[in-house]
């Protein structure tokens, strides 16, 4: 028998499989990973039973009672539990369903006959974060997290190390320059809030806020290499808040209020759906 | 009543289970593929600005974010009254779609489905029945799979920014052009990718022909997919439905989908069950995806793919292929075709031109956008007010189209493999192979058709007797 390798289990909650795709994007490094660890219950093989493993990773949001059961079972059976991606860490996109209560959602979607077979999972009243239910040892942020981050964290776990925490905001990684924001002035910075599609030119070198487009980079933690900004699109905040900031969404609303005419803030068409897109479920200030 | 359960179904994208309902006499009453997750997108898409749709709906599915991104942008453009975007932007979007399909088809066939063709569950342990087990016994094949995926991902990143979170398609075009260095990088990889795709198609041919002989299947249906003048289309074209004999049953523009498709709800599934309105529940069952597209297509992009298409058509004697394992072959033929198409487009230096968008202003409107995702026809439908705020959203995803058919195929396999009310390991694998042939994507399928209260779209409740007759 060869030396016992660390074992890994992966569980899928209500997510999109994107985090696992980011893992698979290890591509040529996959062989190395296959050599380092041994997969037990995971979507890539046929193991159905969850036995005790060294590392457990959970992808997706806690949205149904099935998710809840699986999360608790994983906690019991895994020495180290990893919250993989923004979904379990902050509720992510699925957390946006908390804008409404679950009964309304079901009735709107299914009419008067909501599926109710006992084999089907039941919706939780609201999406909750993994850390609010069980103890989480490692968080990997991002929707999806970068492939490098997943690898870095896995290696750190296997070596029993901590992963250094990022502490600055995304603007430090952004290739765009700020000019008028930094120049003393009396008036507001832009005339109003616009969407990218409405700009005559999308200036690839200038901060989006100066172009009148809301960018979440200001209130989002660094770590994704500002990937959307490089593609000439504003950040939507998928990495979550800078550590220590309790509310990514409220912070953004504060920030834009100081940049654009306060009247224009009323026209910031979807302050909730943009500022709280990824963290609604985790945000205390959004509780009903 | 007894229930047999396979939970979770392995090697599929998402958490789902199979439940076989067995009556007191030991007869299979029905079999159901059930998704165990729920997200409810259509509800929270409402109240968001329509230009955010491509950015939010790409999170519906991490495996095919690109088709969602593009269906959303097409629907948004239709709603905002954008009649024309730069031709270069359309070319880029098609490339993006190709990139997504290449990585997805390679993933599905090699990583997820192939272990079934070489590892029999009555002999091989569950841990081994995986891409990792495959890597030990067939390292070359897995390396080729990795390379094909890498090509698709590199292409998707070059055009879409990120292959799992594409962001560059915006109403009016693309947020940025592609750069020359990426173009040459991809061209350098192309020959190797083409060679591997060709080998994959050969493997799929062997597997499909062998398996269909060994495990005959009787279930047959109609087929739906996009087609442009008879050519297999993914980004544009009309929706074509053919019947069991291969004759065109209907042809319509995506805008009219509500006239042709109706959906039903059943108590034992979160997913909905669409069928062709005119034919009704029993005769209106259709399938989508690679097999449907090739059954419908009279021609396909690429020289080699054209030869493959002819071979594919002969398999069923000029009639539509109906065997569920033909999905695998069709998928790999498409892999070849996508790569050939990409080669042609990338040869053209003008593809790196800068004219990729025109500005678009917000306006009230309603629009539908359809594309062919790897798993089949994907439809997005939005209505927004003059501030661009979405008031109605409806998505029909490929896995949902296939719901009736998948359950019918499962029931057929269950009849064969359930013995004395029990399932052995191989029987379980056979059931799962049926699921995998359809390649359902659960993250997609847990979004349901929202009835449009304003327009009064109807949801039909299917009676059990009708379901039984269908089987
Ligand atoms: S964090 Fe993002 S990529 Fe990961 S499962 Fe959730 S939605 Fe998908
Ligand atoms: S706010 Fe956005 S665009 Fe401006 S510097 Fe920060 S990340 Fe870049
Ligand atoms: S730029 Fe913002 S939205 Fe884009 S990946 Fe980074 S954190 Fe996420």
CA of A25 to the centre of ligand 1 (A): 15
pLDDT level of residue A20 (50, 70, 90 thresholds): very high
Q: How far apart are CA B409 and CA A36, in angstroms?
A: 39
CB atoms within 10 A of CB A99: 20
pLDDT level of residue B452 (50, 70, 90 thresholds): very low
CB atoms within 10 A of CB B165: 24
pLDDT level of residue B445 (50, 70, 90 thresholds): low
Q: How far apart are CA A192 and CA B285, in angstroms?
A: 51
Token pair, residue A91, equals: 């509720």
CB atoms within 10 A of CB A172: 10
Nearest by CB to B268, from A115, A230, A270: name it. Answer: A115
Q: How far apart are the first and last CA of chain B?
A: 19
Mean pLDDT of A174-195: 82
Token pair, residue A11, equals: 């569980």
Q: Is the pLDDT confidence value at B355 over 70?
A: yes
Residue carrying the six token digits 């544009």: B236
Prediction ipTM score: 0.94
pLDDT digits (tens, 9 = 90+) for A67-77: 999 999 999 99
pLDDT digits (tens, 9 = 90+) for A119-173: 778 889 999 999 999 999 999 999 999 999 999 999 999 999 999 889 999 999 9
CA of A286 to the centre of ligand 2 (A): 25
CA of A111 to the centre of ligand 2 (A): 43
- Would you state the pLDDT for residue A266? 55
Q: Is the pLDDT confidence value at A180 over 90?
A: no
Residue carrying the six token digits 């449907």: B292
- Would you state the pLDDT for residue B39? 73
Supply the mean pLDDT for chain B: 90
Q: Strands of B390-396's sheet, edge to edge?
A: B365-373, B376-384, B390-396
Which domains are delineated in chain A? 7-158 (3.40.50.700), 170-287 (no CATH)
Write out chain B residues lying below 8 Å of A31, CB-based.
Answer: 135
Under 8 Å CB pairs connecting chains A and B tally to 246
Q: Is the pLDDT confidence value at B271 over 50?
A: yes
Give the ligand at the shortest distance from the Cα of A235. 3
Pocket flag, ligand 2, residue A208 (CB < 6 Å) = yes
pLDDT digits (tens, 9 = 90+) for A215-254: 999 999 999 999 999 999 999 999 999 998 889 998 888 8
Q: How far apart are CA B255 and CA B11, in angstroms?
A: 35
Return the half-sphere exposure (C-beta side, CA atoms, 13 A cut-off) of residue B47.
Answer: 13
Q: What is the pTM of this model?
A: 0.94
**DSSP three-state, residue B34:** strand
Mean pLDDT of B257-261: 92
Token pair, residue B183, equals: 């173009």
Whether A42 and A48 have beta carbons less than 8 Å apart is answered as no
B345 φ/ψ angles, rounded to the nearest 5 degrees: -70, -40
pLDDT level of residue B456 (50, 70, 90 thresholds): very low
Strand partners, B34: B17
The residue among B305 and B468 whose pLDDT is bigger is: B305
Supply the mean pLDDT for chain A: 89
Q: Quote the percentage of chain B above a pLDDT of 70.
A: 94
Q: Is the pLDDT confidence value at B234 over 80?
A: yes
Q: Answer whether B12 sits within 8 Å of A43, measured CB to CB.
A: yes
- Would you state the pLDDT for residue B76? 98
Give the ligand at the shortest distance from the Cα of B58. 1
Mutation to probe ligand 1, out of A14, A15, A57 (largest number of atoms < 8 A from CB): A15
Which domains are delineated in chain B? 2-350+358-470 (1.10.645.10)
The residue among B448 and A276 whose pLDDT is bigger is: A276
Token pair, residue B44, equals: 């929270």
Mean pLDDT of B234-238: 95
Q: Is the pLDDT confidence value at B331 over 70?
A: yes
Give the ligand at the shortest distance from the Cα of A222. 3
Q: Which of B1, B6, B35 is nearest to B268 (CA)?
A: B35
**How do beta strands A38-39 and B376-384 pair?**
unpaired
Pocket flag, ligand 3, residue A228 (CB < 6 Å) = yes
Mean pLDDT of B101-119: 94
Pocket flag, ligand 3, residue A93 (CB < 6 Å) = no
Q: Answer whether B267 sits within 8 Å of A113, measured CB to CB.
A: yes
């Amino acid at each position: 028998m060869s030396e016992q390798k660390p074992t890994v289990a992966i569980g899928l909650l209500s997510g999109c499989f994107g985090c696992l795709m980011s893992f698979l994007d290890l591509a040529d490094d996959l062989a190395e990973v296959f050599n380092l660890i041994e997969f037990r219950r995971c979507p890539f093989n046929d193991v159905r039973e969850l036995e005790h493993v060294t590392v457990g990773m959970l992808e997706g949001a806690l949205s149904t009672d099935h998710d809840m059961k699986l999360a608790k079972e994983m906690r019991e059976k895994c020495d180290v539990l990893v919250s993989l991606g923004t979904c379990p860490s902050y509720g992510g996109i699925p957390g946006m369903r908390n804008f409404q209560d679950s009964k309304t959602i079901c009735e709107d979607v299914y009419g008067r006959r909501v599926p109710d077979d006992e084999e089907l999972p039941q919706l939780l009243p609201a999406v909750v974060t993994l850390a609010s239910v069980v103890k989480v040892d490692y968080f990997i942020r991002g929707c999806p997290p970068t492939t490098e981050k997943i690898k870095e964290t896995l290696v750190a776990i296997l070596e029993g190390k901590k992963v250094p925490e990022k502490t600055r905001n995304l603007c430090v990684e952004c290739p765009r320059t700020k000019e008028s924001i930094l120049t003393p002035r009396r008036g507001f910075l832009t005339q109003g809030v616009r969407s990218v599609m409405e700009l005559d030119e999308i200036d690839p070198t200038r901060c989006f806020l100066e172009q009148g487009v809301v960018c979440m980079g200001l209130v989002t933690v660094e770590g994704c290499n500002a990937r959307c900004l490089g593609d000439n699109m504003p950040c939507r905040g998928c990495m979550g808040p800078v550590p220590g900031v309790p509310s990514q969404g409220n912070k953004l609303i504060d920030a834009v209020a100081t940049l654009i005419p306060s009247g224009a803030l009323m026209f910031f068409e979807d302050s909730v759906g943009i500022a709280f897109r990824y963290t609604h479920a985790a945000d205390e200030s959004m509780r009903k | 009543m007894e229930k047999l359960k396979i939970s979770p179904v392995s090697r599929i994208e998402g958490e789902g289970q199979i439940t076989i309902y067995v009556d007191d006499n030991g007869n299979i009453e029905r079999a159901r593929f059930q998704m165990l997750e729920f997200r409810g997108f259509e509800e929270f898409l409402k109240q968001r600005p329509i230009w955010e749709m491509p950015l939010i709906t790409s999170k519906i599915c991490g495996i095919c974010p690109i088709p969602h991104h593009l269906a959303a942008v097409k629907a948004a453009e239709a709603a905002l009254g954008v009649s024309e975007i730069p031709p270069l932007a359309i070319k880029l979007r098609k490339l993006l779609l190709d990139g997504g399909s290449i990585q997805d088809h390679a993933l599905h066939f090699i990583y997820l489905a192939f272990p079934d063709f070489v590892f029999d569950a009555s002999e091989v342990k569950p841990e081994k029945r995986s891409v990792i087990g495959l890597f030990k016994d067939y390292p070359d094949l897995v390396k080729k799979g990795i390379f094909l995926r890498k090509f698709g991902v590199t292409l998707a990143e070059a055009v879409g920014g990120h292959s799992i979170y594409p962001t560059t398609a915006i109403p009016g075009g693309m947020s940025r052009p592609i750069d020359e260095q990426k173009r040459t990088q991809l061209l350098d990889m192309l020959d190797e990718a083409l060679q591997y795709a060709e080998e994959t198609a050969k493997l799929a041919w062997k597997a499909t022909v062998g398996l269909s002989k060994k495990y005959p299947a009787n279930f047959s249906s109609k087929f739906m997919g996009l087609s442009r003048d008879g050519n297999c289309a993914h980004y544009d074209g009309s929706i074509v439905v053919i019947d069991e004999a291969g004759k065109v049953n209907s042809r319509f523009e995506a805008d009219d989908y509500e006239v042709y498709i109706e959906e039903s709800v059943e108590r034992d599934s979160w997913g909905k069950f669409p069928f062709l309105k005119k034919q009704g529940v029993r005769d209106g069952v259709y399938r989508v995806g690679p097999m449907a597209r090739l059954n419908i297509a009279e021609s396909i992009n690429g020289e080699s793919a054209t030869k493959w298409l002819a071979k594919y058509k002969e398999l069923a004697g000029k009639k539509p292929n109906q065997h569920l394992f033909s999905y695998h072959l069709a998928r790999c033929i498409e892999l070849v075709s996508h790569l050939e198409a990409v080669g042609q487009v990338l040869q053209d230096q003008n593809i790196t031109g800068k004219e990729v968008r025109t500005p678009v202003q917000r306006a009230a409107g309603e629009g539908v956008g359809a594309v062919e995702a790897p798993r089949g026809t994907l439809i997005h439908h939005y209505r927004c007010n003059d501030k661009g705020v979405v008031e109605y959203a409806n998505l029909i995803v490929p896995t949902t189209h296939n719901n009736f058919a998948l359950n019918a195929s499962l029931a057929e396999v269950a009849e064969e493999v359930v013995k004395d009310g029990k399932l052995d390991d191989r029987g379980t694998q056979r059931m799962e192979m049926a699921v995998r042939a359809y390649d359902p994507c659960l993250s997609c399928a847990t979004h349901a058709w929202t009835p449009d209260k304003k327009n009064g779209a109807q949801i039909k409740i299917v009676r059990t007797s009708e379901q039984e007759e269908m089987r």
